[in-house]
Chain A
Amino acid sequence: MIPSLKAVVVTAAAAMLATPTAAFSQGTLQKVRDRGQLVCGVNTGIAGFSAPDDKGNWTGLDVDFCRSVAAAVLKDAGKVKFVPLTAKERFTALQSGEIDLLSRNTTWTMSRDTSAGMTFTGVLYYDGQGFMVKKDLKVAAAKELSGASVCVQTGTTTELNVADYFRRNGLDYKPVVFEKLPETIAAYNAGRCDVFTSDVSQLYGVRLTLGNSEEHVVLPDVISKEPLGPAVRQGDAQWANIVRWVLFAMINAEEAGISSKNVDQMLESTNPDILRLLGKEGEFGKGIGLDNDWALQALKQVGNYGEMFERNVGQGSRLKIGRGLNALWTEGGLQYAPPIR
């Protein structure tokens, strides 16, 4: 049996045998505090979102979000244990209590939010599914792909989107489905498929790893909405609130111009919005069971949303993805957080 299937079986078995009191009656916040560590489920390796660097440290947008939550809850962004998960394993890992937080480029969909025992707490990255093809096929648009072979990774919304897209447009295609990303890419690179399809952000990341990245092109078509966000177990409102408001705090901080560099000066600010966010005014930490410096710690140690974005996927990274839909609402994007008051 393959290792990941084994993991699914083991977690399913654990879910069967766990007594109701063991995993669910105690709040996740208390569990994290007792443990002194946040256990965060991340991707096994996807450039810009979660991948180990050459020194073995996890880096990426999803990873940084885990660190923000750890900083807010435990006052130390380093107290995170990262659990790399395949697409197939991730939900079982969250449902069974193996991880506290799933931050693994996961698309927020209705069925996942309502009938899979999970609650999504916001959108960390607005993405959409696209196609990458070899340049020498001279394909300009996705509608020309009739009859093509398409490499897909299983366990994702991708598989269904691509079927829907070709069905909607009355086109024919041949799927080749792999369990893990490396094999999917290797098969695409070996010519097994004409097309590799995934979320656009991932396509740019994969393109860089192909070696001959100039020979591949990402088509302009975006065929789906993929709001990627963190998720927690359903039924723990306090923990969901913490994760939700850490993300909102990151976004509000960028809007207010608070970054990891100027956060100490900002404590002297006269702007009440900033003082509330940094915990100098009001008792907002109490509402989510944390100390009042929760957002301050996260900002100081990890930075605001814009900093995380630029460092991992934006201009400060190899991916050089523009802000696009992920710009603040004040700059024509979709990132908008409710106010802290």
Chain B
Amino acid sequence: MARGESDAAREARPGAWRERLASLVFDPRVRGIALQAVLVVAIVAFAYEIVSNVTDNLARQQIASGFGFLERTAGFDISQRLIAYSNTMTYGRAFLVGLTNTLLVAGLGIVLATFIGFAVGIARLSSNAVISSLAAIYIEVLRNIPPLLMLFAIYFAVLKGLPDPRNSVVLPFSSYINVRGLTVPKPLMAPGFDAFAIAVLIGLGLVAALAIWSRRHRLATGRTAPVVPLAVAILLGAPAAAYAVAGMPFTFEAPTLGRFNVTGGLTLLPELVALTTGLTLYTAAFIAENVRSGIEGVPKGQTEAAAALGLSRAQAMRLVIVPQALRIIVPPLTNQYLNLTKNSSLAVAIGYPDLVSVFSGTILNQTNQAIEVILITMAVYLVLSIATSLLMNWFNARMALVER
């Protein structure tokens, strides 16, 4: 214990240091810090023990370890790629392909499940008995079937329902539907594409500015300006004008029917359709229940007050009930988003190349580095979940009732 010069007088008193020590021992703040320090040391020691134990065991068993494998050539192919990939690229690149595929299906699923969930949840409360019982049947059936079974049912129904490639259904614009998916022409960038892209961005910017102005205008004057037709005109007009001026800034690669498959073009795989549909329908049933309970949680007086103000039922729902219900809906909604993202790892069962299929399936097997691969996979899901939670917490905070 350092003896400060200023305390010299107190230090002179016999037994003073003992008193000081005692006061430190019984100081709750000091005790708290000491206990936490002990805990941190224990956790660090435990983590160190695990890591060194694993490294020792792996070395003893002659199992390769480390993350160097991410740099090695992958050598295998992946059916759906959102980023450029070929089998001569690295495992790291293949990991990114799997990750983007997971993000795609999770993103699509979250958006669609939210729409369907809100629609079904509101329908569940409809005064029309047919609509509300249909919604009830949807919820009770879908949320009680294991998602894996649903995926199998949907996937094999999709496969059985579609013709083989040689009997493809031919759609306009040389598009094809068959058991291998929906294939449409693929846009290819041509000279002048930059100008076109900039025009589209400017159009979007103008519409955003218009939306902000219209909101201010409404708040200031209490009147709504008729901006919707103008916004549509800008959204369609800007790209159309740019398209004409730049002179066909992109061309289309039309798919053609080959011996086995439709080749060329962009293909929407049946696996993606089945997985998105399955996850969406399953999660929407839970979201619908959240929405129902959220709306029922808004006091009835609010509906009556809205009616007294002369709002229609739809207006009351949109402007009064749902904004208040959101405060109740959002926290459990976050859980459903997390569930959907995690359930997307069922993809491997129906052949969709998500992160689990590509990374902790093929790559794990080819490299035999189970611990590293599983750790990375878990870390990815953890990061995705935390990011979703943070985003939803921010949204929830914005939605919170501001008390003055």
| Residues of chain A at the chain B interface (Cβ within 8 Å) | 1-2, 5, 8-9, 11-12, 15-20, 24, 87-88, 91-92, 95, 111-112, 114-117, 137, 145-149, 151, 154-156, 159-160, 163-164, 167, 172-180, 183-184, 186-187, 190-192, 194, 233-235
Contact = CB atoms under 8 A, between A and B. Distances in A.
B156 A186 contact: yes
A163 B57 contact: no
Contacts of A19: 53
28 contacts: A1-B342, A2-B348, A2-B349, A2-B356, A11-B370, A15-B54, A17-B53, A24-B57, A24-B61, A95-B61, A112-B368, A115-B368, A116-B64, A117-B368, A149-B180, A154-B361, A154-B365, A160-B366, A163-B77, A163-B87, A172-B263, A177-B78, A177-B353, A177-B361, A179-B348, A192-B270, A192-B351, A235-B62
Q: Which of A11, A95, A235 has the most CB of B within 10 A?
A: A95
A190 B361 contact: no
A115 B366 CA distance: 11
Contacts of B353: 177
Nearest to A137: B260
Given A16-B50, A149-B260, A234 B61 contact: yes
Interface majority SS on B: helix, strand, loop or mixed? helix
Contacts of B271: 176
B346 interface: yes
Interface in B346-377: 346, 348-351, 353, 356-357, 360-362, 364-366, 368, 370-371, 374
B371 A20 contact: no
Interface in B146-187: 148, 152, 156, 159-160, 164, 179-180
B364 A16 contact: no
A92 B61 CA distance: 12
Nearest to B78: A175
B79 to A, nearest CB: 5
A324 to B, nearest CB: 27
7 nearest interchain CB pairs? A116-B368, A117-B61, A117-B63, A190-B159, A115-B64, A155-B365, A148-B260
A321 to B, nearest CB: 26
B122 to A, nearest CB: 32
Nearest to A190: B159
Nearest to A116: B368
A119 B179 CA distance: 43
A185 to B, nearest CB: 12
A174 B357 contact: no
Interface string B222-242: 000000000000000000000
Contacts of B156: 186, 190
Nearest to B258: A147
A95 B63 contact: yes
Contacts of A114: 62
A17 B51 CA distance: 9
A179 B152 CA distance: 13
Nearest to A134: B164
B345 interface: yes
B299 interface: no
Contact of B362 (A92, A154, A172): A154
A1 B345 contact: yes
A116 B351 CA distance: 26
A72 B79 CA distance: 47
Contacts of B270: 192
Nearest to A195: B260
Chain B CB within 10 A, most for which of A24, A87, A194: A194
Contacts of A15: 54, 57, 370-371
A91 B77 CA distance: 23
Contact of B159 (A16, A192, A233): A192
Contact of B351 (A111, A156, A177): A177
B181 to A, nearest CB: 10
B76 interface: yes
B366 A175 contact: no
